Chains A and B, each alone.
Chain A
Amino acid sequence: MKVLIIEDEPALRNSIQEYLTHQGYICELAEDFNQAIHKVNEFDYDCIVADIGLPLGNGLDVVKELKILESKAGIIIISAKDSLEDKLRGLELGADDYLTKPFHLSELNARVNAILRRKKFDGNTTINFNEITIKPASKTVLVHNKSITLTGKEYQLLLYFIANQHRVVTKSALAGHLWGDEYDQAGSYDFIYTHIKNLRKKMLEADGEDYIKTVYGTGYRFG
């Protein structure tokens, strides 16, 4: 899977590259508008991560260019501006998702993952992780080919964990993913633990392995 990261800040560009590469993507980089236009014209990508504010141009114009090229790539816009207009404009132009800076790398990765699944396989694919099989189309989860029943939140958790397998995922990233930005209105992350406990229990009952590891006080690692 090839991903093009269009971001002018070198440090952020490299962070994204490092994280996504580790998750098995082949990453290419573009640091300004011209490079971005050049690369999307020259090569095919499965997914494009584009910053809006670029030197020499606007990330939204890259989206336009991709549409002219009739590219099938999934597009995620990242922006420092939490602007509803930019968001709507981006999605209108054909972007698939919009992420406001600062974001969790695990969240970006999960979204890239979800878009690729949707775009490339029309959702008709299965996600496999050892004995676990997930069918996103029907939202069913099989462990050793035995169906287990998960709540909505537990299902989302499992998808997020598998997308970010072998990586430490922080509680705040999990809370942000499951409840959106409003979760910080309401207090602690403690309730995440309940969902994780239930998910782990259901998988153990189906003779699955215990993949969810608590990493000190920091968060969780799957697999």
Chain B
Amino acid sequence: MVKTISKPYMAQDTASVKISLTVKKDTHSMKLLTKTMVYFLLIMLPVFTAGAFYLYATFNKEIKHETDEELVNDKLQWMRYLDTATINNPVFAINTPEFNLQPTDKPVQTKHKLKGVSIYQEPEDTYAPFRQLTQVIAVNNKNYQLTLRKSLIEKDDLIKNIIHVMLAAFGGLFLFVLLSNWLISKSIWKPFYASLDKIQRLQLNKLENTVFDHTATHEFNQLNAALNNMTTRIHQDYTNIKELTEDAAHEMQTPLAIAQSKLELLLQDDSLSETQLKGILTSYDELQRLSRLNHNLLLLAKIENQQYPVTDQPDLCTVVEKYLSLFEELIREKELQIHTDMIATAPWPLHPALTDILVSNLLGNAIKYNYPHGNVRIHISAQTFSISNTSELPQIPPDILFQRFKKQHNVYTNSNGLGLAIVKKIADSYQLSIQYSYENGWHTFSAGI
């Protein structure tokens, strides 16, 4: 049963928490470029439609005008021809949709009339649009109604053509926008994405190395300048707080040393009563606890500040053996069974001081929280280090496992609730994995490279 560790946000943890600016994947957000493209297309669509209508209307008018001119031209030719025509001319018998002469009683008109009509077309079984010219004229002293028509059937083709052209233009534009977007995002937005990437990788304890570079774009320069400003300020604040923590912890050691020395001298006074001595001793012990607490908090800060560089790789087995012999009395006192399964050498990428702390904290816990005649199992391979121990204590709730000052019980007053927090901090700062599991009364902590 392996628990993943989650820790609430705390001042000390900030360095290990990556600043995450990644927006949660939500379906409502789209790329800026996609957005501009969509807006662009949404604007272009009515513009293109209106354009299509305007073109249609203009062409329509033009065709009508042209047709009318042709009709008038035809009329003039016909009238010239009819003036010379005899009464028997077959022209008077022609009756087609395009040309028709009909005897009429209406008076002669000096001006022609033009209008659009629909004529039934037998082969297609539809009505087709025509322009029609009518005028009552006199031929050989008889009045005729002259009707000339011209088909406007090409108008349909015209609409089709216009739609085709418009669609092609629209599609072309669409492709053009896509392509230019791609090209723009490749070049113009490049510095923006570079900055974004940098922000996402930002870690509080590595801020001093973060510089947002100068770009060729004014707005991005403004953004990067603001970001540089911000990171510098955050870094300064962070360093100040770090230094304050460290300085405060150091400064505390001197008054502690004074108080402790005065109490130790007081203990030498023979005239004091037993109660007084006990009071002094309690204060003395509590001062020591305070100083250890202070020391451990300082240690946490130092680990976080990476003040323990990996200089050489100490052998974990040697360290474990060292602490087994150091804790020998305690092991013997509780009559614990120690089972070790260690490979000969296991160099770990940790500062020797931190290796000591890691081992002593975990081994110390395994002994402290064990019961008499209990067991401790230590397993070391090239990549993993695990300590299991028997205990009457229940499983540690995962949410408080590595938290500071969360003691699992009050029986052990010697605990300051920082041991596992320090182990966790070491693991986090040096990219080790640390896991806790509980099974059948066995508590196991495993660390891995």
Interface positions of A (Cβ within 8 A of B): 9, 11-12, 15-16, 18-19, 22, 80-82, 84, 100-106, 153, 167-168, 170, 172-173, 179-180, 182, 184-188, 190-191, 194-195, 215-219
| Chain A: minimal CB distance from B272 (Å) | 10
B41 interfacial contact with A, CB 8 Å: no
| Chain A: minimal CB distance from B362 (Å) | 9
B321 interfacial contact with A, CB 8 Å: no
B254 nearest in chain A by CB position: A80
Across the interface, B261 reaches (CB within 8 A) one of A15, A180, A184, namely: A15
Which listed segment binds A: B78-86, B219-227, B273-281? B273-281
Q: Are A182 and B253 in contact (CB under 8 A)?
A: no
Q: Are B258 and A15 in contact (CB under 8 A)?
A: yes
Residue from the set B254, B284, B363, B414 with the largest chain A CB neighbour count within 10 Å: B254
- Note all chain A residues with C-beta closer than 8 A to B295: 82
Which listed segment binds A: B150-158, B202-210, B263-271, B378-386? B263-271
A-B contact pairs, 16 of them (CB 8 A): A15-B262, A82-B295, A82-B298, A101-B254, A101-B257, A102-B257, A102-B259, A182-B326, A187-B330, A187-B367, A190-B333, A191-B333, A215-B277, A216-B278, A218-B267, A219-B267
User: What 6 pairs across the A-B complex have the smallest Cβ distances?
Assistant: A185-B364, A15-B261, A102-B257, A101-B257, A80-B253, A191-B329
- State which residues 241-263 of B face A: CB under 8 Å: 250-251, 253-254, 256-262
Interface size on B, residues (CB 8 A): 46
- State which residues 8-24 of B face A: CB under 8 Å: none
- Besides A19-B264, A184-B414, 20 more A-B contacts (Cβ < 8 Å) are A12-B254, A12-B258, A80-B250, A80-B253, A80-B257, A84-B353, A102-B259, A102-B260, A103-B257, A105-B261, A170-B281, A172-B285, A182-B360, A185-B361, A186-B367, A190-B333, A195-B329, A215-B267, A218-B267, A219-B281
- State which residues 300-321 of B face A: CB under 8 Å: none
Secondary structure at the B interface, as helix, strand, loop or mixed, is: helix
A101 nearest in chain B by CB position: B257
| Chain B: minimal CB distance from A178 (Å) | 9
- Note all chain B residues with C-beta closer than 8 A to A167: 268
- A186-B291 contact, Cβ under 8 Å, with A102-B257, A105-B264, A172-B285: no
Q: Are A217 and B250 in contact (CB under 8 A)?
A: no
B191 interfacial contact with A, CB 8 Å: no
- A170-B330 contact, Cβ under 8 Å, with A12-B254, A185-B368: no
A192 nearest in chain B by CB position: B329
- Note all chain B residues with C-beta closer than 8 A to A180: 326
Q: Are B254 and A9 in contact (CB under 8 A)?
A: yes
Question: In the complex the two chains form, what is the Cα distance from A11 to B281 in whole Å?
Answer: 20
B288 interfacial contact with A, CB 8 Å: yes
- A185-B278 contact, Cβ under 8 Å, with A168-B267, A172-B288: no
| Chain A: minimal CB distance from B374 (Å) | 13
- Note all chain A residues with C-beta closer than 8 A to B250: 80-81
Question: In the complex the two chains form, what is the Cα distance from A173 to B361 in whole Å?
Answer: 21
B327 interfacial contact with A, CB 8 Å: yes
A84 nearest in chain B by CB position: B353
- Note all chain B residues with C-beta closer than 8 A to A194: 329, 333
Q: Are B277 and A216 in contact (CB under 8 A)?
A: yes
| Chain A: minimal CB distance from B422 (Å) | 11
Residue from the set B258, B363, B419 with the largest chain A CB neighbour count within 10 Å: B258
